[in-house]
C-alpha cells in the first residue's frame, strides 16, 4: 500500500515563499509513490518559536498522533526547529507515533535502513533531553528557595489549584518553559492540565 505523506513548509518572513520547497517535495513524493494527504504551512514564523506559536506545526504533530499519515516530509531539518532541544522532542514524538520522516536537504529518509538507524539513536538523545530538563527544573527550584520564595504547604483556599497543592510546581513549570518546552509538553512532563501551564506562563 502506498504511504500517506504530509508536507510541512515554513518560511521565517512574509516576503519569503514556500513555492520552491513545495514543488521539490511534491516531485519527491510522486517519484516515491507517496500520496500527499495534506500540506501544513507556517508562513512568516521563525523556527525558534515553540510549537504553541506555530499553528500548522502543532496541527501536524496532533495529526501524527492520530495516524492521519505515515510520513512527514520537510525541505530541511531547520524547517522543523532551530534548537536541538525542540528538534529532539519533535523527532521523538514522530518516532513514538510510528511516523517516518523525509528531509530533502539532509538526505534523511527513515523508510530506509540507514534512516531507521537514525530514529533508534533518538531514544538516547530524548533521554538526555529529559535529564537536562529535570536538572534545570531542580536548579530553578533551588534558585527560588535561595531567593526566599515560599515553597511550602498551600493555604486552605488554594486546594483546587495544582500549582499551589504541589510545592515548587509553578517554579518547575516556569523553568521548563524558559528552556523552550512547549505548553502541552510541559503539562505532560509535570502531570497537570494545559490550563494550569497557561496560567503560570501568563503570570510570569
What's the Rg (C-alpha) of the chain?
19
The residue with cell 486552605 is: 156
Helix (H) or strand (E) holding 184: helix 183-190
Q: Establish how many alpha carbons lie within 13 A of residue 10's alpha carbon, considering only the half-sphere containing its beta carbon.
A: 25
Closest CA to 50 of 37, 39, 40, 61: 61
12 in catalytic set: yes
Is 181 strand, coil or helix?
coil
CA atoms within 13 A on the CB side of 134: 6
Catalytic residue among 12, 46, 176, 195: 12
Whole-number Å distance between alpha carbons of 99 and 95: 6
Euclidean distance between CA atoms 124 and 119, whole angstroms: 10
HEC secondary structure over 35-94 = EEEEEEEEECCCCCCCHHHCHHHHHHHHHHHCCCCCEEEECCHHHHCCCHHHHHHHHHHH
Catalytic residues: 12
Amino acid at each position: 500500500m502506498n504511504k500517506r505523506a504530509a508536507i510541512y513548509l515554513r518560511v521565517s518572513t512574509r516576503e519569503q515563499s514556500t513555492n520552491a520547497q513545495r514543488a521539490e517535495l511534491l516531485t519527491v513524493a510522486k517519484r516515491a509513490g507517496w500520496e500527499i494527504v495534506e500540506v501544513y504551512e507556517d508562513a512568516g514564523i521563525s523556527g525558534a518559536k515553540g510549537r504553541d506559536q506555530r499553528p500548522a506545526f502543532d496541527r501536524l504533530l496532533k495529526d501524527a498522533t492520530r495516524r492521519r499519515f505515515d510520513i512527514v516530509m520537510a525541505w530541511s531539518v531547520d524547517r522543523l526547529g532551530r534548537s536541538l532541544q525542540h528538534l529532539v522532542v519533535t523527532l521523538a514524538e514522530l518516532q513514538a507515533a510510528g511516523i517516518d520522516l523525509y528531509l530533502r536537504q539532509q538526505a534523511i529518509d527513515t523508510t530506509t535502513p540507514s534512516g531507521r538507524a537514525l530514529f533508534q539513536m533518538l531514544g538516547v538523545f530524548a533521554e538526555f533531553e529529559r535529564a537536562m530538563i529535570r536538572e534545570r527544573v531542580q536548579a530553578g527550584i533551588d534558585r527560588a528557595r535561595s531567593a526566599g520564595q515560599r515553597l511550602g504547604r498551600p493555604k486552605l483556599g488554594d486546594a483546587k489549584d495544582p500549582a499551589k497543592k504541589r510545592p515548587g510546581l509553578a517554579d518547575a513549570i516556569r523553568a521548563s518553559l524558559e528552556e523552550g518546552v512547549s505548553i502541552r509538553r510541559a503539562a505532560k512532563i509535570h502531570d497537570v492540565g494545559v490550563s494550569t501551564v497557561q496560567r503560570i506562563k501568563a503570570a510570569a
